Chains A and B, each alone.
Chain A
Amino acid sequence: MTAALALARRHGALAVGGLLLAGFVLLALCGPWLGGADAQAMLPGQRLRAPSALHWFGSDRLGRDVFARVVHGSGASLAVGLAVALLSGLVGTLLGLLAGYVRWLDGIIMRVMDGVMAIPGIMVAIALVSVLDAGLGTVIAAIGINDIPRVARLVRGALLSLREEPYVEAATMLGTSGAGIVFRHMLPGVLAPLAVLCTHIAASAMLLEATLSFLGLGLPPDIPSWGNIMADGRTLFRVAPWIILFPGLTLASAVFAINLLGDGLQDALEARRG
């Protein structure tokens, strides 16, 4: 415990980011039981109310409480971030390992990665969403594809530089198999930067999901993700700016927490290495 405290004091960003994110996760998990207004309850008498003690974030055009919807929607937004980070982390690592270890695959995989990277992320997502049916899985895949090359490049680059390390060569001389070298010597060295990259991927995935949903190209409207709530407020911005601003700021602070966590993690790892 004291060690954790000392760590927290030394790495402020890590602690603040971690705590904030923990708060959001708690909110997402316990939101439905937190009480307060029902997210789907439409109160015709309470349409487009400005923020007040009753409606902290105001109410929308159907009279639904925006705060309740934001709490309710936090799960979807966080889930997209987590799922994209996991998906691109796993697939990217696999491709990076193959490219870094199987020489003849290297050229093929990395050219495809270059190709994917050459299409701006939002264009890939737009293209996929327009072809496939809108749904949670589609959105996660569409966003995840953009980040796979970043992970693959990181893993491959680390593998290529580690391959030159004398301790890896020594392991080869001791008769350790290729798989043993990759999984026991090389991969553990990549995990730390990979974790940092994945937090940043989660953060940018949440932003991209919100952007797509806001444009009407993301999650189906019946999922109250933060992006969808904001999309509801688009035409009403002059009368009811809170429908966009409050979910927007909530999203921003969640993403801020994750970014802070990632930066803190990176600083902590650098400090440990140095």
Chain B
Amino acid sequence: MAEPVLRIEQLSVALPPGAERGHAVEAVSLEVHAGEVLCLVGESGSGKSVTAFATMGLLPPALRITAGRVLFHGRDLLRLPPAELRSLRGQRLAMIFQEPMTALNPTMPAGRLIEEPLRIHTSLGAAARRDRVRELMALVRLPEPEQLSHRYAHELSGGQRQRVMIAMALALEPALLIADEPTTALDVTTQAGVLALIKDIQARTGTAVLFVTHDFGVVAEIADRVAVMQRGQVVEQGSAEAVLAAPQHAYTRALLAALPGPGNRDRPPRPAADLAVLEVRGLSKTYPPRGLGLRRAGVAAVRDVSLSLGVGETLAVVGESGSGKSSLARCIARLVPPSGGTVAVAGQDLSAPDVLLPQLVQVVFQDPNRSLNPRWTVGQSMVEGLRNLGTPAVEARSVAVDLLQRVGLGAEAMARTPHAFSGGQRQRICIARALTMRPRLLIADEAVSALDVSVQAQVLLLLGSMQRDLGFSLLFVTHDLHVAVQVADRIAVMHRGEIVEQGPALAVFRQPKHAYTQELFGSAPGRRRAWWREAMARLD
């Protein structure tokens, strides 16, 4: 076999003293060959990104490499003089990042950004550089290069930004491309395009790619080989098909089993109940235009949406960013006033002045780190709603403790502040807090999107069992259709403020009817690979 482009040997990176474990990365060995994509997959904190940054020599100062070699074409990057490493970076080694909005210099237009590596590493004249920028923009399929090259990062779409980033990385035809979660911040349809682009360029140029991701679907879509990381160590390595279709290590198997999908349902979908808890009629929301401009019309986030939800039923609202799904949820919860239409819960119109909203609707938000007051103890947060209702302190406390125990936390959690808990635990607390009010309707607004896949699976199970015990109806807002089909009885798909398709969960998932739903579902990464479809079907 030919010499690999990149060989990492026994790499260890120490965490600063006081961290929960000694090493971010421990004795990791990897090889990436020309013309192949190696996916480094793992949950947050597994050390996958640290490995990538160590290879580029871009580790933050707090992280120290304690052992190992990083051989690039046989030269140890860790022992290269800084000037030589710098001349390799951007030229032979290139990197693209997770969040293209923040990774692109906001004060340089796109064309100038793509030109940057040419200015740094070559002595090309202005005209030659311009031609090369034009070529690169065509390569990454950016339309209208003439106009786009004058736009700044904030004026580009998410997909365009990541394409600019890729063009910068590929400007000097590097031998190795390191991609750190490059599609995580993108919508699923945009992600499909960017993944196809990376795969296509890689096939044409023979660049070796080290691709870091947490998403097994993305792995199935793009990887030739996979290395699975857990707590700083590579636990399993092999061809994508071998690892994903027939995992050997228990951790890999657990991760794959935790992937959301119809197979992980804890109960069969129920037929629609007659008695509606939530009735939404002709709801619309138009945000007023910003600034003082008179001519600009408002933005219509939700247009004429009607839906209903029965007792104990779960409806998933699925859509990409900007589809209006969150605005819909916020209008129903009256966190923002709707511009038109009516919302009734348990027969009560929510716009009525005397309605007792807290006992009708509660919300669990996306970001568990910001959903609890950081200065309050969990106990204070847990009893806040009951105390507002005038429940005596002792009684409120006993309800709070009971619910905390039901979500898997002990009474001792009451005295601690949110800092003491992990993201998953905080989200459990938020669910428990919402349920102290015994609401008829619980809205989960992307409530599991910020969580790792194994934690996500546990929180979804918890939501299901609480719903069985307490009998509330659940409106589950998500961008992830696999999550939707796992939790929901019915699915409603939103696009540009409207519900384009609505029906029983499994029917919508298996035979989408609307063109947009088909495109959305067809963009799910990994769908092109037969062995992945089979593996997922087996899980189903």
With an 8 A cutoff between CB atoms, is A188 at the interface?
Answer: yes
A138, chain B: closest CB distance, angstroms: 39
With an 8 A cutoff between CB atoms, is A55 at the interface?
Answer: no
Cα distance A175–B437 in the bound complex, in angstroms: 10
With an 8 A cutoff between CB atoms, is B361 at the interface?
Answer: yes
Residues B375 and A174 in contact, CB atoms below 8 Å apart: no
Chain B residues closer than 8 Å to A169, beta-carbon distance: 335, 363, 365
Within 8 A of A (CB), among B150-178: none
Chain B residues closer than 8 Å to A167, beta-carbon distance: 370-374, 381
Residues B437 and A165 in contact, CB atoms below 8 Å apart: no
A194, chain B: closest CB distance, angstroms: 15
Chain B residues closer than 8 Å to A176, beta-carbon distance: 384-385, 388
Q: Which of A166, A175, A185, A188 contacts B371 (CB 8 A)?
A: A166
Residues B437 and A174 in contact, CB atoms below 8 Å apart: yes
With an 8 A cutoff between CB atoms, is B14 at the interface?
Answer: no
Within 8 A of B (CB), among A156-187: 165-167, 169-177, 180, 185
Cα distance A176–B388 in the bound complex, in angstroms: 6
Within 8 A of B (CB), among A171-219: 171-177, 180, 185, 188-189
A163, chain B: closest CB distance, angstroms: 11
Cα distance A115–B430 in the bound complex, in angstroms: 44
Q: Which of B361, B363, B374, B388 contacts A170 (CB 8 A)?
A: B363
Residues A173 and B370 in contact, CB atoms below 8 Å apart: no
Cα distance A173–B356 in the bound complex, in angstroms: 10
Residues A175 and B357 in contact, CB atoms below 8 Å apart: yes
Q: Mark A132-171, 1 if CB is under 8 A from B, else 0.
A: 0000000000000000000000000000000001110111
Residue of A nearest to B365 (CB): A166
Chain B residues closer than 8 Å to A177, beta-carbon distance: 388
Cα distance A172–B385 in the bound complex, in angstroms: 9
Cα distance A171–B384 in the bound complex, in angstroms: 8
A170, chain B: closest CB distance, angstroms: 6
B477, chain A: closest CB distance, angstroms: 14
B358, chain A: closest CB distance, angstroms: 4
A residues contacting the other copy or chain, number (CB 8 A): 16
B108, chain A: closest CB distance, angstroms: 28
Cα distance A169–B365 in the bound complex, in angstroms: 9
Q: Mark B339-382, 1 if CB is under 8 A from A, else 0.
A: 00000000000000000111001110111001111110000010
B474, chain A: closest CB distance, angstroms: 15
Within 8 A of A (CB), among B467-514: none
Chain A residues closer than 8 Å to B365, beta-carbon distance: 166, 169-170
Residue in A170, A180, A188 whose Cβ sees the most chain B Cβ within 10 Å: A170
B residues contacting the other copy or chain, number (CB 8 A): 26
With an 8 A cutoff between CB atoms, is B428 at the interface?
Answer: no
Chain A residues closer than 8 Å to B367, beta-carbon distance: 166
B71, chain A: closest CB distance, angstroms: 36
A258, chain B: closest CB distance, angstroms: 27
Residues B357 and A166 in contact, CB atoms below 8 Å apart: no
Cα distance A165–B335 in the bound complex, in angstroms: 12
> Given the known A-B contacts A166-B365, A166-B367, are A173 and B333 also in contact in the complex, defined by CB atoms under 8 Å?
yes
A177, chain B: closest CB distance, angstroms: 8
Within 8 A of A (CB), among B434-480: 434, 437
Chain A residues closer than 8 Å to B370, beta-carbon distance: 165-167
Residues A173 and B362 in contact, CB atoms below 8 Å apart: yes
Cα distance A165–B365 in the bound complex, in angstroms: 10
Residue in A167, A171, A189 whose Cβ sees the most chain B Cβ within 10 Å: A167
Within 8 A of B (CB), among A220-251: none
> Given the known A-B contacts A166-B367, A167-B370, A167-B372, are A175 and B388 also in contact in the complex, defined by CB atoms under 8 Å?
yes
With an 8 A cutoff between CB atoms, is B389 at the interface?
Answer: yes
With an 8 A cutoff between CB atoms, is B433 at the interface?
Answer: yes
A154, chain B: closest CB distance, angstroms: 18
Cα distance A175–B356 in the bound complex, in angstroms: 8
Chain A residues closer than 8 Å to B363, beta-carbon distance: 169-170, 173
Residues B430 and A170 in contact, CB atoms below 8 Å apart: yes
Residue of A nearest to B358 (CB): A175
B475, chain A: closest CB distance, angstroms: 14
Cα distance A170–B382 in the bound complex, in angstroms: 11
Residue of A nearest to B335 (CB): A169
Chain A residues closer than 8 Å to B385, beta-carbon distance: 174-176
> Given the known A-B contacts A166-B370, A167-B371, A167-B372, are A173 and B384 also in contact in the complex, defined by CB atoms under 8 Å?
no
A98, chain B: closest CB distance, angstroms: 22
Chain A residues closer than 8 Å to B437, beta-carbon distance: 174-175
Chain B residues closer than 8 Å to A185, beta-carbon distance: 373
Residue of B nearest to A185 (CB): B373
Chain A residues closer than 8 Å to B433, beta-carbon distance: 170, 174
Residues B384 and A174 in contact, CB atoms below 8 Å apart: yes
Cα distance A169–B370 in the bound complex, in angstroms: 10
Within 8 A of A (CB), among B412-440: 430, 433-434, 437
Residue of B nearest to A169 (CB): B335
Cα distance A152–B381 in the bound complex, in angstroms: 29
Cα distance A253–B385 in the bound complex, in angstroms: 51
Q: Mark B100-138, 1 if CB is under 8 A from A, else 0.
A: 000000000000000000000000000000000000000
> Given the known A-B contacts A166-B370, A167-B370, A175-B357, are A189 and B375 also in contact in the complex, defined by CB atoms under 8 Å?
yes
Residue of B nearest to A186 (CB): B373
A260, chain B: closest CB distance, angstroms: 27
Cα distance A121–B389 in the bound complex, in angstroms: 49
Chain B residues closer than 8 Å to A180, beta-carbon distance: 388
Residue of B nearest to A180 (CB): B388
Residues A173 and B361 in contact, CB atoms below 8 Å apart: yes
Residue in A165, A166, A172, A177 whose Cβ sees the most chain B Cβ within 10 Å: A166
A183, chain B: closest CB distance, angstroms: 13
Cα distance A177–B385 in the bound complex, in angstroms: 11
Besides A165-B370, A169-B363, A174-B388, 8 new A-B residue pairs in contact (Cβ under 8 A), listed by A number = A166-B366, A167-B374, A169-B335, A170-B371, A170-B433, A173-B335, A173-B363, A176-B388
Query: Which B residues form the contact surface with A (CB < 8 A)?
Result: 333, 335, 356-358, 361-363, 365-367, 370-375, 381, 384-385, 388-389, 430, 433-434, 437
5 sampled A-B residue pairs with Cβ under 8 A: A166-B367, A166-B371, A173-B357, A175-B389, A180-B388
A-B complex: 7 closest residue pairs judged by Cβ atoms: A174-B385, A175-B358, A166-B365, A175-B388, A166-B371, A167-B373, A166-B370
